[in-house]
Amino acid sequence: MLASQRIIFNTSIMYAKTVLTLGITLYSTRIILNELGENDFGIYNVVAGVIAMLSFLTHAMSQSTRRYMSNAIGKKDIELLATIFKSSIKIHLIWGCAFVLLLEVLGVFLFNGFLNIPPHRLSTAYFVFHCMVASTFCSITVIPYVAAINSHEDIFVISIIYTLESFAKLGIAFYLQYTLHDKLIVYGLLLATIYCIATLIYRWYCHTHYKEIHIKIKTNKDTTKELVKFSFWTVIGNASRIISTQGSTILLNLFGGTVANAAYGIANQVNGQMSFFSASLLQAIEPQIMKSEGNNDTHRMKRLSLLTCKLSFFLISFFSIPIFCKMPYILNLWLKDVPEYTVIFCRIILLTALMSQITMGLQSGIYAKGRIRNYQLVMSIIQLLSLPLAFILLKAGFPVEIILYSLLMAETAMGISRIILAKHLIHIKIAILIKEMLLPSLAACIATFIAVNYSSSLFMTDSIFTFLMLCLESFLVYSCLFWIIVLNKNEKQSFVKLLKNYSFLKNEVVHKHNFCTKKRKYKKHLK
């Protein structure tokens, strides 16, 4: 399969997985909330929130491992790939043990008067906490294996396992309706079991399909040091984003109260669902960017980075435009009681997401080069400066939504910084970025918004039908404009070629289903 065909196939698979698991998750949450009750469900989310605060570290380590493994595959250096994998295993095992120790020590403090948990449910909450610590250990130690699958672009496998996890969680939700034991304990224990089983499946697949796993080679100190260094700067970037988000939550609470926090929480949920689509594309195309750099094909790496910017902005835009226009109706349809500030918060958050996605492909290019220290320092400083800026403006008498506007301004500044840094780090001319990517994408988005907003004003009443019609209009108008003014001649030719050769999708699915045959062949090869 050609690289371009693989990108299309993997993106399609990720989209299908996202839609399916989203529906399963929403339905599962509904059942779990009903079975656990508000109090136990709240206890679980309080405990989960403590663990989630450290999730940015896991994400950072995953990014580092994927980058170096994809780069090694691009170089076609199997010994380097094996060295990176072995070093990554060692690093993540140490990280996993350190996390367990840190969380258990933290748990002693949290469950001795800090967390607001009813006394009669304290022991239960502590047990669930232990279960989640075990899950965290599994999620950390499995990172090298998931990164290996991702680097080999076997996104189909990841999607299958993730979908099975979602169905298993749905099964837990149904089981809670019939169990006679403490439902919160059962829920926490079974979730930990699912994560452990998923870890074993990832390990099994890698051991049966990738030969670098079986190469006996010692870990290299220089490779380990490079992985740790890259992870450190990635952690800095992710930590600054967490601090910015949590700091905004605190400011909203101080100046707007719990109502503002509720509105902000809803806005982040909307943003999260919209970001799924662009994130799916990034996961599918990022290995090719890394491999291109590893193969010293810098021109292809630059071209893919620009294409990622265009596609990720397109994928989030045509969904966001009708939602932006019909935000009051969508929120009233989704929620019974819409908190104050929610409409304006959701709209600002959507604009912030758009500003982020229009240059996100450049970040992948910078990561491929591996020169991320200066990049992460600049991004982190801009993100953190949004908090004192918002505080000063609030003290000056500005309304509470200025906090969200400060985040929007910070994201815009980060986008401009990415363009400038891309010139120095991956040598893409600013004029090319503005002419071929930035201006055409913004023009197509604004033109589509004007058309959809005008059509929206013509409808006298709101309904599901009118909203779906606006979504269809947004997709059709934006797709036409995207083809005409955003894509260049070479990109159009590539897409036409792919459409003519659509049968590759079917062939790849059949190939991916043939796990057993592939396993037998590989075992014979080892012998």
pLDDT in tens, 182-198: 888 888 899 889 989 99
> Which tens digits make up the pLDDT trace of 306-317?
888 898 898 888
Query: Is the separation of the CB atoms in 386 and 329 below 8 Å?
Result: no
What's the rounded Cα separation, in Å, for the pair 68 and 154?
17
Asked if residue 402 and residue 295 are part of one domain, the reply reads yes
3-state secondary structure of 263: helix
Domain boundary among 174, 202, 219: 219
Of 167, 187, 219, which residue constitutes the final position of a domain? 219
Identify the band that residue 517 occupies on the pLDDT scale cut at 50, 70 and 90: low
User: What pLDDT digit, counting tens, does each position of 104-114 carry?
Assistant: 888 887 777 66
Q: What is the pLDDT of residues 234-257, one digit of tens each?
A: 888 888 887 887 788 788 878 887
| Domain contains 506 | no
Candidates 124, 119, 201, 129; CA nearest to 165 is 201
505 part of a folded domain: no
Number of domains in the chain: 2
Are 267 and 384 in a shared domain? Answer: yes
Lowest mean pLDDT among 114-118, 288-292, 351-355: 114-118
Residue 125 lies in a domain: yes
Per the CB < 8 A criterion, the answer to whether 300 and 377 are in contact is no
User: Which of 152-166, 394-408, 453-467, 501-515 has the highest mean predicted lDDT (pLDDT)?
Assistant: 394-408
Output the six-digit token pair for 217: 């080679």
Q: Is residue 513 part of a domain?
A: no
**Residue pair 432/371 in contact by the 8 Å Cβ criterion:** no
pLDDT at 50: 61
Whether residue 526 is contained in a domain is answered as no
Q: Do residues 236 and 186 both lie within one domain?
A: no
Helices (H) and strands (E) in the chain, counts: 20, 0
Residue at 123 is within a domain = yes
**Which segment of 54-63, 129-138, 298-307 scores lowest on mean pLDDT?**
54-63
User: Are residues 165 and 26 part of one domain?
Assistant: yes
Query: What type of residue sits at position 425?
Result: L
Contact (Cβ atoms closer than 8 angstroms) between residue 69 and residue 78:
no
Same structural domain for residues 105 and 241?
Answer: no
Using DSSP, state whether 436 is helix, strand or coil.
helix
pLDDT at residue 466 greater than cutoff 70: yes
Mean pLDDT of all residues in 206-223? 81
> Based on the domain organization, do 333 and 435 belong to the same domain?
yes
Are 205 and 240 part of one and the same domain? no
**Rounded to whole angstroms, how far apart are CA atoms 179 and 430?**
61
pLDDT at 522: 45
**Same structural domain for residues 142 and 234?**
no
The parent domain of residue 274 ranges over 224-487
Per-residue pLDDT reduced to its tens digit, 262-278: 778 778 777 776 776 66
- Average pLDDT over every residue of 20-43: 74
* Domain-embedded: residue 261: yes
Looking at the structure, tell me whether residues 299 and 317 fall in a common domain. yes
75 has pLDDT over 70? yes
DSSP for 130-193, please give it: HHHHHHHHHHHHTHHHHHHHHHTT-HHHHHHHHHHHHHHHHHHHHHTTT--S-HHHHHHHHHHH
What pLDDT sits at residue 35?
79
* pLDDT score, position 459: 76
433 and 297 co-located in one domain = yes
**pLDDT computed for residue 381 by the predictor:** 93
Average pLDDT over residues 199-208: 91
Identify the residue with better confidence: 159 or 495.
159
Predicted confidence band of residue 157 (pLDDT cuts 50, 70, 90): confident
Closest CA to 470 of 254, 334, 325, 259: 325
Residues 365, 266 within the same domain: yes
Higher pLDDT, 291 or 416: 416
Burial of 59 (0-12, 13-18, 19+ CB in 10 A): middle
Q: What percent of the chain has pLDDT over 70?
A: 86
Of 318 and 116, the structure prediction assigns the larger pLDDT to 318
Q: Which of 158, 185, 219 is the last residue of a domain?
A: 219
In a domain, 471, yes or no: yes
**Same domain membership, residue 288 and residue 149:** no
